[in-house]
Amino acid sequence: MATKTRIPAHIAIIMDGNGRWAERQGKQRNAGHRAGVESVRKVMEACGESGVKVLTLFAFSSENWKRPQSEVNLLMDLFLIALKQEIKRINRRNVRLRVIGDVSAFPHKLQQRIMDAEELTAGNDGLLLQIAANYGGRWDIVQATRRLAAEVQAGRLKLADIDEVSMGQAMSFADVVEPDLLIRTGGERRISNFMLWQCAYTEFYFTDVLWPDFHEQEIRAAIKDFAGRERRFGLTGNQLESD
């Protein structure tokens, strides 16, 4: 039911604005993507220090394959490099890394690097850093539906037993609390097919700050804004007061 927690347990972020940040500085788009890696580091550290338990970052959507091939290749290379350069730092900070999405579409070398990074940090019990890569909210719902349909077909589940609980358990990262706060940088006011199921009761926070400029001060401002909101989860304000 309602929670009085003032620090969001789970923050999800749509990291938008890398390309525009680079263009405004007269640089190529890849400069923005590289600068964005630094923001990931700073936000991750600030969230860990603030008491956030889970941080989910939307790094590459299932629709991003439609971008120019040169940019897609760059993003794949950058992901590979970032994992190599950052994983030791992540591990030292007791952060557990998990990549969510259909990683089977990635180059084999990147898939191996992901598995190695997840294995290295598997025993850490600090912040859980989830990177959504080749992920889409609709894809997530479809793959969950297929899992449940297979269970029904195999006779392990009755059709009448499919409900919100069983559906939620079939979704990606079902073992993690749903996001309390969803942040989108870059000025857009939409969630772009990100965590459609999981964000049913999530608080949204939109900012014009481009992702490469989104650092500790900005994430702390978002957390402060969240702390001032009343989350009713379908209840009335009076019901919360009497809870």
Which amino acid does the sequence have at 179?
Answer: P
Q: Which CATH architecture has domain 10-135+178-230?
A: 3-Layer(aba) Sandwich (3.40)
CA dist., res. 193 & res. 138, Å (int)? 7
Identify the residue whose tokens are 């749903």. 178
Percentage of the chain beyond pLDDT 70 is 93
Domain boundaries of the chain, sorted by first residue: 10-135+178-230
Kindly report each contact of residues 204-208 with a partner whose C-beta sits within 8 Å and lies 24 or more positions away, as own/partner: 205/181, 207/183
Mean pLDDT of 115-127: 97
pLDDT of 2 over the 60 cut: no
CB-based contacts of 157, cutoff 8 Å, min separation 6: 148, 151, 166
Asked which of 76-85, 93-102, 105-114 is least confident by mean pLDDT, the reply is 76-85
Q: What are phi and psi of 93, to 5 degrees?
A: -90, 10
The set of catalytic residues is 16, 64
Task: Determine how many CB atoms are found less than 10 A away from the CB of residue 148.
Answer: 17
CA dist., res. 11 & res. 54, Å (int)? 6
Question: How do residues 15-67 score in pLDDT, each as one tens digit?
Answer: 999 999 999 999 998 899 999 999 999 999 999 999 999 999 999 888 888 88
Question: How do residues 105-120 score in pLDDT, each as one tens digit?
Answer: 999 999 999 999 999 9
Collapse the DSSP code of 129 into the 3-class scheme (helix H, G, I; strand E, B; otherwise coil) and give the result. Answer: strand
Give strand pairing partners of 128: 54, 96
* Most confident listed range (75-79, 116-120, 238-242): 116-120
Percentage of the chain beyond pLDDT 90 is 78
Q: What is the mean pLDDT of the chain?
A: 91
Question: How do residues 193-235 score in pLDDT, each as one tens digit?
Answer: 999 999 999 999 999 999 999 999 999 999 999 999 987 655 5
